[in-house]
Amino acid sequence: MSTYLESHALEEAEFHHAADLDESLKPRSKEDRTVGPISYTFMWIGDGVNLGNMTLGASLVVAGTATLNIIQTFAAAAIAIAIISVIFALNDRIGYRTGIPYVVQLRMSFGMKGSIISSLLRGIPAIIWYGFQSWIGGTALNEIVKVITGGAFDNTVICFVAIQLVQIVLSLYGFHAIKWVEMLASIVIMLALVYVFGILLTSHSEVIAEKWVHAEGSWGLPFFAFIMMFLGNYAAIFLSAGDYSRELKSGISDAKRGFLYFSPILLAYGFVLTIGVMLASATGISNPVKAFAIVVDNPYITVGVSAFIVIGAIAVNMVANIIPPTYVITLLTKLKYKVAVIITGVLAFCSFPWVLVQDSSAKGLGLFILIYSAFLGPIVSILLVEYYILRKQKMKVADLYREDGPFAGYNPCALLAMLIGAGAAFIKVELAWIIGVVVAGIAYLILMKFAFKDSRFKKGTIFENEF
């Protein structure tokens, strides 16, 4: 592994001429990687135990009854988690081996100019999720302050702003802060959720059994739509898998890294999803924070649970929703990392997260996931086809940083394949992710082989002889 990393690492002389390139976008060397396997596992547990995932579970409850019963829910979740883990392990490989971030990886398929479009399609959903998670956290913080002040204070907007400011400060420290925040959050929140799970089982088991466990449900479109929504919820994260794997210490095999994704996602996501469905079934409310306040009818316990929700919102943003758009802003504006982090936080203020989830329904969140995943599915498909089929995992990293190199400009094949895949996905938005992945991957292979015969992007691929 060390030989592989060394052979793909950029020589200082090859990229130092780019004076406007921020350090955060340069390849991570072995010495710069500070995240070990245990911290990495806790990072994904911390990402999974969040209110967004809980709300996704709550979205199964429509008009008081779940659209999937317990067996269908777990079957759909198991299928989705298995697919997620495989794609994570495949797409994180180039970042782990070479140390490059996602926004640079995109240049391999889309070109330096073409990657601007595809990077924005990853950055914008992350900013909206950033705002959504912060709004959920602000709602929980408001519950805490209401209890403490005896109801004298009740202003979710102020709490939302306060949480945003805290996250901006924490994110200035990059992965050093993420590692410790995630370890603390994952342990504390899981303990809190075990407690809530116990309350739901002992006090609301009958209504949960009626509304969810014994619901008729469906093995048809709603079942597959939930799998797609599940995948869409993770689409943005595994798309930029290299942003995380480049921070992981070297010497870990591909199989072990796959396990580092599968085990925490199964544990955290599965448990949180279950609680989300149970809460919505018991209360009829899709906003988990407000549902908690009803289920846990004790002001002191409400404060404790709400505190864990606040920590969870911060934890998931630190992993999934701050770093990727920050890299995008850094790349596009040439600003330094810390300035870009602040801009990312400010943009999240403008995401109107309260629109996505109302008290009566979380369908807005589900629709948002399905729409943006229609674009992200095609992008991840193009990246995987490029790296594994067209280039056979062989890549000269230095070329990705050369303004006048083989990846200058844009690759029309990738852009067209992305649009074709997204267009096909919108034909049946409930199945957007899988349709986009399949169609875009096939379209990219066909276009690279038969179209744009003089394209420089064929160099180094299996179609190079046709160049």
| Residue at 15 is within a domain | no
| Residue at 390 is within a domain | no
CATH number at residue 348: 1.10.4160.10
SS3 category, 65 = strand
| Residue at 247 is within a domain | yes
How many domains does one find in the chain?
1
Q: Is residue 122 a contact partner of residue 324, using CB atoms and an 8 Å limit? A: yes
| Residue at 414 is within a domain | no
Mean pLDDT per segment of 10 residues, for the chain of length 467 residues?
45 48 84 87 80 80 82 92 90 94 94 90 85 86 89 90 90 71 73 85 90 91 86 81 91 89 88 90 81 77 76 78 89 87 89 59 60 85 96 91 89 96 87 89 96 89 78
- Helices 107-148 and 412-425 pack at an angle, to 10 degrees, of 50
- Give pLDDT, residue 367: 67
- Give pLDDT, residue 9: 46
| Residue at 443 is within a domain | no
Q: Are strands 65-66 and 61-62 parallel, antiparallel or unpaired?
A: antiparallel
| Residue at 444 is within a domain | no
- Spatial CA neighbour of 192 closest among 292, 267, 294, 320: 292
Structure tokens at 234: 């993770």
Q: Is residue 393 a contact partner of residue 108, using CB atoms and an 8 Å limit? A: no
Q: Give CA–CA dist 170/173, Å, rounded.
A: 6
| Residue at 104 is within a domain | yes
Q: Which domain holds residue 318?
A: 27-353
| Residue at 343 is within a domain | yes
Q: 402 — alpha (psi -120 to 50), left (phi > 0) or beta?
A: beta
Q: Give CA–CA dist 49/461, Å, rounded.
A: 41
Q: Is residue 85 a contact partner of residue 264, using CB atoms and an 8 Å limit? A: no
Beta strands (DSSP E) in 58-167 are 61-62, 65-66
Residue 61 backbone dihedrals phi, psi, to 5 degrees:
-95, 115
- Give pLDDT, residue 360: 47
- Give pLDDT, residue 366: 61
Give the CA radius of gyration of the chain. 22
